[in-house]
Amino acid sequence: MAQEVLLMDNVPNLGSEGDIVTVADGYARNYLLPKDLAAPVTEATRRRLVKLQAQRAVLRAEQKKESQAVADRLKQASCTIAVKAGEDQKLYGSVSTADIADALNQQGIEIDRHAVILENPIKELGCYDITVKLPHDVTATIKVWVVEE
């Protein structure tokens, strides 16, 4: 049998918050309902969903404001990474996203290494513009100086 449920949150490969979907009874009973990802379609759950959406909108606005504040700090920041280099300004290793994140964390700007966007690791000395992608589609560009140790 199938059952109609109102999604209370985004569920991958099923739907987004507020959608009414038809799912198998077992999937609804054993997964969606216990995890509060969905609720039976009633007027009370519709009211609960509206209240939940309003709370989430306020939370998202606060988080976006925090991300924007970090982006403003990043725009003013630059970091210098000293590495060993050989002839022709080639590095013996490379500068990765983790190295850049560590350099920023030492300056008091807490970011995750996954937020730093590098197409390829840096393998030469020089100055690079690096993009940092923060939550809520906020991005910032920082200058990274790779200098010889």
- How many residues would you count in the chain? 149
What average pLDDT does range 4-24 have in this prediction? 90
* Residue 61, pLDDT score: 93
Per-residue model confidence as pLDDT tens digits over 20-76: 899 999 999 999 999 999 999 888 888 888 888 898 899 999 999 998 998 898 888
Contact criterion met (CB below 8 Å) for 125 and 144: no
pLDDT classification of 77: cutoffs 50, 70, 90: confident
Per-residue model confidence as pLDDT tens digits over 122-145: 999 999 999 999 988 889 999 999
Per-residue model confidence as pLDDT tens digits over 47-61: 888 888 898 899 999
Token pair listed for 33: 């309902």
Query: Residue 86 is which amino acid?
Result: G
Contact criterion met (CB below 8 Å) for 112 and 133: no
**Extended beta strands in the chain, E state:** 2-7, 20-24, 38-40, 78-83, 90-95, 116-117, 122-124, 126-134, 138-148
- Structural domains present in the chain: 2-67 (3.40.5.10), 69-148 (3.10.430.100)
Contact criterion met (CB below 8 Å) for 81 and 114: no
pTM (2 decimals)?
Answer: 0.67
pLDDT classification of 18: cutoffs 50, 70, 90: confident
pLDDT classification of 98: cutoffs 50, 70, 90: very high
Give the Cα separation of 134 and 85 in Å (integer): 31
One DSSP character per residue, 4-44 reads EEEESS-BTTTB-TT-EEEEEHHHIIIIITTTTSEEES-HH
Q: Is residue 87's pLDDT more than 90?
A: no
Nearest residue to 99 (alpha-carbon basis) of 113, 109, 110: 113
Give the Cα separation of 114 and 133 in Å (integer): 9
- Residues above pLDDT 70, as percent of the chain: 100
